[in-house]
Amino acid sequence: MVRRNFYPAEVQPAYSGRVLWRGTTEAAPFLTGRSMIMAGYANRKFVAYPIREVSPETGRALINWVADVYIGGDVPMARDWNRQAEKSTVLHHFRDWHFEWLDIPSLIEGAGAIYEYPLVDRDPIPRWAFGRVALLGDAAHPMYPVGSNGASQAILDAAAVSAALADKPDPVAALHAYEAARLETTAKIVYSNRQQGPEIVMQMVEDRVPNGFDCLADVISQEELAEVASRYKIVAGFDPDRLPAKA
């Protein structure tokens, strides 16, 4: 609402042609029991990770999962936090995704409810600070949920606001300093996430061996993986070699 006050002519969020289905399922833990996994490629991807400890009574964990599929089209369905989808709609895209360590169709089938969201973001805007008011987090730079940056960048925004307010007695000047520190950086992340961010490695593998592989190292090297991750860490502000200087 605050952003709309300053940008009343802003158009609807930009739709990617992709839909996210989200759910939680009580299921047997997979891999280490604390692992996060991503399977697939740009147009069909599945993410899963536990959000509760394994129950000693049942031996099961509560697993959060996201199914990300390219549907196409220019106009998304109406955005609604409570919009539910049929399990069959999601299963259609992942029916044969059975791994030795995780049965994705069973995970989808076991969800109590599945919620549907169009994958959208907004183009970067030229200004966040307006006198004693400033935008932060998703209000300032809504982006695709790549690299957990919806939350992470809001945390970095908050740190920058805190530092600016502590450094400058004038709150208006402080908010402009915060804007100067964060606006360009987050714009780069918005654009990078539209190109899949670090998840581009999944598409690289898909492009090279669309029919599958026996050994990942034969398809993509550790050096390539490390280079992609390092490049994104620098863009997102997570590069460990640069964090001490910021602190």
Kindly report, residue by residue over 54-72, the tens digit of the pLDDT: 999 999 999 999 999 999 8
Mean confidence (pLDDT) of the chain: 91
Tell me the per-residue pLDDT of 104-120, one tens digit each, with 9 for 90 and over. 999 999 999 999 998 88
Burial, 38: exposed, middle or buried (Cβ in 10 Å; 0-12, 13-18, 19+)?
middle
Residue by residue, what is the 3-state secondary structure of 214-226?
CCHHHCCCHHHHH
Residue 244 has pLDDT above 70, yes or no: no
Portions of the chain given CATH number 3.30.9.30: 8-121
Q: Which fold has domain 8-121?
A: D-Amino Acid Oxidase; Chain A, domain 2 (3.30.9)
Tell me the per-residue pLDDT of 127-169, one tens digit each, with 9 for 90 and over. 999 999 999 999 999 999 887 788 889 999 999 999 999 999 9
